[in-house]
Chain A
Amino acid sequence: MTDTKADVKGARPDEQITTAPMPASQRMGAGGMTLSLTPWIVATFIMLVLPLVFTNNSALTIMNQMSITIIFALAYNMLLGQGGMLSFGHAVYAGVGGFACMHIMNASDFFASFPLPVLPFFGGLFGMGLALIIGSFSTRSAGTVFAMISLGVGQLIASSSVIIVAFFGGEEGISGDRTYAMPFFGVEFLQQIEVYYLTAGWVLISAALMYLWSRTPVGRMANAVRDNPERAEFLGYSARWVRYYSFVASGFFAGISGGLFAINYEILTEENLNATSSGLILLVTFLGGVGFFFGPILGAIVFTLVQTVLSLETELWAFYAGSLFVATVMFFPGGLAGLIMMHVPAVKLGKWKLLILPYLKTLLPAAIGILGLCALVEMTFHYRHGATGDNEMTLFWTTFDSHTVMPWLIAGAIAAIGIGIAKRTAPDLRDAWNEANTAGSKS
């Protein structure tokens, strides 16, 4: 117990409840005033080119899913990363926006004179409307109380979705048809690719808007209120109103993502509102890193890929995702973005080359060891839950009998050796890390 003091200090529940999840140096700041256009141009280019590279429909589906998650995660990070508010029911705002869009789609007379690309904006308005109501009492305090209210309200709306059939469609949800909309410059959105470009356009617009928002005085005050609400109050800002503005804006963008979901899948159910979806977006955002604007984008991309690829390979993907999440919270609270940005000083010093070899020496065996562990987990699962008589299992392109000793020994040995080597080489990595982050040469 080295940090007893800090431990005891944090013990008072009423003492500084809002704290960003990382040391001050890594917290999400407003950054400089210069707005660089380069990343946006690159992003636009990539999004334009991607469907030319991956042309099949399933890739398009994944990319659409990714885009929707990106908007939702960015909106979520307006609360968590920039405002220090942890919400356990944010899916509700996306869901309500989506349901509202679905109803617009089903109002056939109105919808026939309505260009589809504008629809997500209305989803955003409905998400914002709900956030206006809920936020009026939930943003009174941040931290634990806010989290509890968000959970309660989320559960309330999710469970009443089964009861209020007129709006939420009960158990089977509601569905519609996007192609009834007024053709938009001749495009009727019959094909997946057209929907992709619509979604991509909205991703760029909303990401840019959210980025600009984080540069406005309100966005900057959100950071101040997150770090020290008391001090912000002394400066004359109402912490509550600043939180309220962030909350409402976040609700708006969540609603946009819901609207895009409605256009993309043409069906919304209770699943879009419930706590699982809310938890998932927390997972995505935190995995990507709440400390940087691009963190949630990274999280959404990586998580969607992991989800699609892993869920094809194994039944246990949620278990791995959960483990990854807990490990991230424990060891890398900065998330993926934090990990990447950690290397900026080394790169600036021009010493990043020093890190390559130690990284290879440690991370490669560690990865192999972890794969060995995964193999053990998979074999245990197969051993316990496989149908009787079905002893054959295929893992890493090899088929073997999970009821014999040999595969267990091999997997165990791989795990032990891999992690053993990684442990051995870890001190070298630490030395190299210190060396790479120190200015001037050692010798």
Chain B
Amino acid sequence: MDLILVNLIDGLVTGLLLFMLSAGLTLIFSMMGVLNFAHASFYMLGAYFAYSISLALGFWIGLLLAPLIVGVAGAMVERYGLRRVHQYGHVPELIFTFGLALLIEELVQFVWGKNHVPYNSPEILEFTAFAIAGNSIPAYKIFMIFISVGIFVGLLYVLTKTRVGMIIQAALSYPRTVEALGHNVPLIFMGVFGVGTALAGVAGVIAGPVLSTFPGMAFVLGPIVFVAIVIGGLGSLWGALVASLLIGWITTFAKSYNIEMEAILNGIGIGTPENLSESPFRDLWSLTSPQIADILPYVLMVLILIFRPAGLFGKRIQ
């Protein structure tokens, strides 16, 4: 029971982190119809900028400034890159963001080197918040949960309750009408892109100390973020939330409980073959859940795409 609670918290942290990325990605997608392949790269940039700033000015200034810089960089990418490529169609846009992801990874290696950088959580948060049956929960995790929830609530408030949010929502569905009403729709697009990437930047800043900051970090998280928004349904904010939490919990639970395939197969009445090391299915028999934890999201995605192609919360697209 206690272990379940600890895993719930761990999964929540992972899930909310994923959500901060997938929220921006899904917003950008529903607005521009383009999947930003470089989204996780902005997350990485956030971590690296925060690291550099924290060396000089400390963690908190980094938390404040790094997302801003990332957001501005994102807006510039939209203004001078994506908008130009947009005229060629959607596939080149995808290819462009893909190339950008490659380029940012190389750029990060160029500036900060190929190794991990020692980016650490602030000392003020380095204590145990509370313990559940001997499993201590670090304060930093609680801090991460609060930041992500705060951002989600703020985003929801801005999108649904403020005038800016109304215009954004209107521009999502009827860009031409909104433009006819005198709003600068390209500017709104740029702004949303900037905010989306800034969100990814925040995720990078707070995840950097926990998941370690290295040039491959975008590549590790990036595909999972796509999986999250595909499972949730492309363009759905709530779908992104549910899918992110789902992925967070599934991977955490799979890692902490050692469920063996052999036990499952025996359980449903298939006996273990006698000479296991000779059998062509030996790998299937020796599978354990921590081993496949990292590929479970992909399995989930393929299943969703086969049985419910629009995703959990997505509208059916013909």
The listed residue (A3, A12, A141, A165) touching B33 by CB distance below 8 A is A12
Assess the A333–B88 pair: CB atoms within 8 A: yes
The listed residue (B35, B102, B103) touching A147 by CB distance below 8 A is B35
**1/0 per residue B138-175: CB within 8 Å of A?**
00000000000000000000000000000000000001
Assess the A151–B226 pair: CB atoms within 8 A: yes
Known: A8-B176, A163-B291. A19 touches B88 (CB 8 A): yes
**1/0 per residue B63-99: CB within 8 Å of A?**
0000000000000000001011111111110111011
- Can you name 7 A-B pairs with beta carbons within 8 Å? A19-B91, A144-B33, A152-B230, A166-B282, A316-B106, A322-B103, A380-B110
The listed residue (B230, B280, B298, B309) touching A140 by CB distance below 8 A is B309
Assess the A11–B87 pair: CB atoms within 8 A: no
Interface residues of A: mostly helix, strand, loop or mixed?
A: helix
Q: Number of contact residues on B: which range applies? A: 35 or more
Contacts of A367 in B (CB 8 A): none
Assess the B110–A7 pair: CB atoms within 8 A: no
Contacts of B98 in A (CB 8 A): 88, 279, 282
Assess the A8–B185 pair: CB atoms within 8 A: yes
Contacts of B318 in A (CB 8 A): 14
Known: A11-B175, A137-B305. A21 touches B95 (CB 8 A): yes
The listed residue (A4, A144, A323) touching B94 by CB distance below 8 A is A144
Assess the A275–B95 pair: CB atoms within 8 A: no
> Which B residues are closer than 8 A to A by beta carbons?
29-35, 81, 83-92, 94-96, 98-100, 102-103, 106-107, 109-111, 113, 175-176, 179, 185-186, 189, 219, 223, 226-227, 230, 234-235, 280-283, 287, 291-292, 294-295, 298-299, 301-302, 305-306, 309, 317-318
Give, as a whole number of angstroms, the nearest-CB distance from A1 to chain B: 5
Closest B residue to A165 using CB positions: B283
Closest B residue to A320 using CB positions: B106
Assess the B317–A141 pair: CB atoms within 8 A: yes
Known: A152-B227, A166-B282, A333-B92. A4 touches B107 (CB 8 A): no
Assess the B280–A166 pair: CB atoms within 8 A: yes
Known: A7-B86, A385-B113. A152 touches B291 (CB 8 A): no
Closest B residue to A170 using CB positions: B283
13 additional contacts (CB under 8 A) given A13-B234, A141-B309: A11-B33, A13-B29, A145-B317, A149-B230, A152-B298, A155-B223, A156-B298, A163-B292, A166-B281, A275-B223, A329-B96, A330-B84, A330-B96
Assess the B102–A10 pair: CB atoms within 8 A: no
Give, as a whole number of angstroms, the nearest-CB distance from B38 to chain A: 10
Q: Which 7 A-B pairs have the closest CB atoms?
A: A19-B89, A13-B33, A156-B298, A319-B106, A322-B103, A21-B92, A8-B175
